[in-house]
Chains A and B, each alone.
Chain A
Amino acid sequence: MPARLNSAVRYVVACLACATVASSLSVGAATPGDLQGVVRVAGRTAKEVVVWLDAPAAPPSPGRVTATLDQRNMQFVPRVLAVRVGTQVKMPNSDRLLHNVFSFHDGKVFDLGLYPVGTSRVVRFDKAGLSRIYCNIHPTMGAYVVSVDSPYFAVSDTQGRFAIPLVPDGTYTYHVWRSGAEPTSGTLIAAAGRAVEIELP
């Protein structure tokens, strides 16, 4: 075996050994993974439920975070949007008519006026809370933006399932919001491979 090839093989073997040792050392430490779960209301799976975890020591988001609340077919898409505090939400007008997007209730207060088809406006949600978004021209248009002070949040899908990415193992206080109900809280344990079930009355 030539000397150069021999040293290369030894280098690879050494790297694999180091990786094995590092892997064995990490057993039992907090490894971020997706926290998956299901939300049920009165025993039935519930969509558009926002779930978030308290994480006061979580680092701030790296760089500028954006999300999109579209206006399409005379409706906001998605109808429920969860964002972390500080997120800039783009609100494009993807319809062929004008909308007047506003939020006058609690949460972020703004009125974007009218803007042309194909253009967008941006709103920064700079504090935690619920914002109710409407169009003053089309009464059936409505959406909720839930701004949370945590990097760990998700919105349940049509089967009530949710997945919060990169949650370190541990015990957390969770919060749940859904349209038409008071927010509720509880405690859950996040662990690799373990799904959680949140039951609401």
Chain B
Amino acid sequence: MTGRIAFVALLACACARPSSGQTGAIEVVQSAGVSNELIAGAGVQLRGLFQPTERFRVYLEAAWGDRSGTGSDVFGTAYPYGGRVDAVENYGELTVQTKGLRFLKAGRYRTPFGLANASDHAYVGFLRPPLIRYGGYFALSSGYLEEGADFVAGAPHLSAEFSLGRSADVGTARRRPGALNKVGRIEGSLGPIIVGASVLRTMPDQPAYFAFGRATFRGVDARWMQAGVQIRGEWIDAVPFEGTTTKGGYLDAIVHTRVMGPVTALARAEKLDYDTPVAAYRLFTHRYVAATRIRIWKGLSTSLGVSHQGGRLTQHRPTTFDAGVSWALRKDFASGQ
């Protein structure tokens, strides 16, 4: 509710200054996939991007997804697969020109922690989320959403972000209601390197009879890209609830050079260490992923991935083969120009 009130207030402020040209777009992304874990999944994401004025944007997103089985994180990258329609991100964003403050956002948006954007997690080709980004592993779920207000201050090469809101999560890992969530982030860049550090203080997503206290996540992330090669990664050190810790991270190499044409190659190495006083519930695992994304025609692409994981996970098989196809359509429109 807090986010919705703030969203309407922001919309009213922005619309007070009409623009000569309004732009917008509707985007639909359909995807389907299958894994040798005998799980198939399909999903649709519908997005609306509207810019009623030069400095104000509205982003609306809904998603539907379903899969034939559970017990695996396949197709769990950034969208819920619960067999129902979920409102995902819905916010208004004002670009503020005054010194220091740059963006003010209100509504429902992804928790701005680390590499948080959907296009990071749902990067076509990665059919599984990072271990540290899957709620089922006592980690920070990529389905976490905040309903509140967020602002970014600073310059393009060094900025700070702060968010205050309530949980509005999608997917299976949904944080308990309680005190307001606080997220802080600093991001800086130097040449081709972009680095960031984030902190999240929130409620646990496990039930109250099991998880006491509050959850705290701290993380660092970095990206570097040159000549078609991107190296990126995150490391998160968390207390998912009182008496437990989750530590882990991932390192991605994404290669797309001219000689590769429509093919993008992906590799990921990652680890997860969940520690609890009860030895039987400890989880230490690592996973290696090799994948490819092939752009077939315009918005149509296919993804193939193989992953091997050690340790104890909820997966059915230690080595998995995943395949997916994705089709994105977009319609832009403009008026008043």
Contacts and interface: CB of A to CB of B under 8 A. Distances in A.
Interface string A135-161: 011111010000000000000001000
Nearest to A77: B23
Contacts of A97: 117, 119
**Interface SS, B side:** strand
**Interface SS, A side:** loop
Contacts of B330: 75, 140
A38 B301 CA distance: 36
Contacts of B57: 73
A119 interface: yes
A113 B295 contact: no
Given A104-B261, A113-B225, A140 B49 contact: no
Contact of A136 (B25, B155, B192, B256): B256
A103 to B, nearest CB: 9
Contact of A116 (B49, B103, B157): B157
Interface residues of A, number: 28
A111 B223 CA distance: 16
Nearest to A73: B49
Contacts of A104: 258, 261
Contacts of A73: 23-25, 49, 51, 57
Contacts of A16: none
A114 B194 contact: yes
Given A73-B51, A75-B332, A102 B228 contact: yes
B328 A100 contact: no
Given A73-B23, A74-B49, A119 B227 contact: no
Interface of A: 72-75, 77, 79, 96-98, 100, 102, 104, 109, 111, 113-119, 136-140, 142, 158
Interface of B: 23-25, 27, 49, 51, 57, 93, 102-103, 117, 119, 123-124, 155-157, 187, 189, 192, 194, 223, 225-228, 230, 256-258, 261, 264, 295, 298-299, 301, 326, 328-330, 332, 334
